Structure 1
Amino acid sequence: DCGTANGAATITVHTLDVIGPLEVCLVDEADLTATFTTSGGNWTYTGPIGAIATFSNEQDATPSVSVDVPGAYQFVFTDDVCSMQRTWNVAFTPAPTIEVSMDTNRICLEGEITLSYQVNTDIYDQLQWDQYAEESDTLVLPGTDSLTYSAFDTLFHVSATITNFCGTATDEVAYQVIDCNLDIPNVFNPDSDVPENAYFNIVALGLHAGNNVKIFDRWGRKCYDVDNYHLNPWDGGKESDGVYFWMLERPGYEAESGYVHLVHGAGN
């Protein structure tokens, strides 16, 4: 406050006060009010680096203010007589957005998938996970960011929703729970009319990237050795009929081995 004296008898005490909202959505305007007893004044502001606040009138006692970036702003009114200042802080908040991502789009039976999310603001009331399956099944939600399923060949949808006073945002992802157990044949026929029987075809091995298969004849000679075997399964090459020994390695599992019969001839 400040005062002016008129002669020795009259003293005028000037006052100043400002008021406004504490939180405003980024797309809206903040209505500020300065109450003062002087003839006028001027508004200024500070805010995030590079931010611009636009007043409807910087000399108006009740301006509307819009900003171009979210964040905390401090608005200052300075009167034009006593240079008194009063401040008002306003947080401009964007409407929320959310993006959900996952570490894989397919998981094995009893497997676990990890979900993560990104939001454009840390100002929101809650984060809500929801899930549903295209076929009825049971889901277990062990934690906020991970989901464990016990299902087979079922497409699951998981969504995350955040809400603040400026709105609500939801994002959804979908992925499939499948049987990753291998089906390893004990015989194959390179002359078969059925394409999948014409190779030493290990069913579901494609779900285990980084695998390696080695094949040996009865004398221990290596006949075949390839990484990511599911992309190049063995067709027998120029090997003769007989029993062959195979070894399989895949990430996260113990090595496996067994025997397969190579039999040429018409038919299946």
Structure 2
Amino acid sequence: MKRKITFDRDGLTLAGNLFTPENFDENGCYKAVIVEGSFTSVKEQMAGTYAEKFAEQGFVALSFDYAHYGESEGTPRQLEVPAEKLSDLQAAVSYLTGLPYVETVGMVGVCTSANNATYLAGQDSRVKGLATIAGFLVNEDVFTATYGEDGMATRREQAAAAKKKYDETGAATTNTVYSETDKDAANDIPIEGGFRLLRQRGPGKRSRVQERTRRAVLGELALVWCTESGTVHHDSDDRRPLRKRPAGERQGAPRGCSG
């Protein structure tokens, strides 16, 4: 089941979707996972797809819009500030740990959110599980190697000019994020079809890349938590689906939750 929720981060209202397992019982005790996607994405995209699948495996799963995106508050819109996203994630952990039926909290980060997730796990001891998908794990050295010293200097100048413009006029400056033709895009892959692998093959179908990563991350997070409860099962052969738990073995069986 999916329901809309909101929570606060430093006075901003962040909007999310909370997915719960089949036969969910608020008197039960569940492991929860935050699922976030690539930068500029919103909760209804990749994060929501993975969150729904985690709920099917017995987790309480939260996908939400970072501040400045989607249905969450924050201006200017589409603003990328990693430190703010870390604060958003810490607020999401606080929201989940405040639910009476949540036992522990982990996170799955896709692409740039993998980077955010590693910082979250490193700084917040409440996070007990971590998995990444196609992780974009970066620091200044990686960016310099990607864009070169001159490219980094140009981007800093552009960012400073954009901030000055916004402070003076309230008008935001945007740039292309993904492109096969725009060399100034944040992600420039000058190969025709460079982004095609992750596209849907048709209604209700996944590309091979999507299906393999879905199975891999479900297995990875299961391995993180399997020794704690003994109820999460992982099949190491990604050519076969994860085994379904028998009904009486489901993670959310009512047994009380100490929080």
Larger RCO (CA under 8 A, 6+ residues apart): 2
Q: What is the TM-score of this pair, normalised by structure 2?
A: 0.23
Q: What is the TM-score of this pair, normalised by structure 1?
A: 0.22
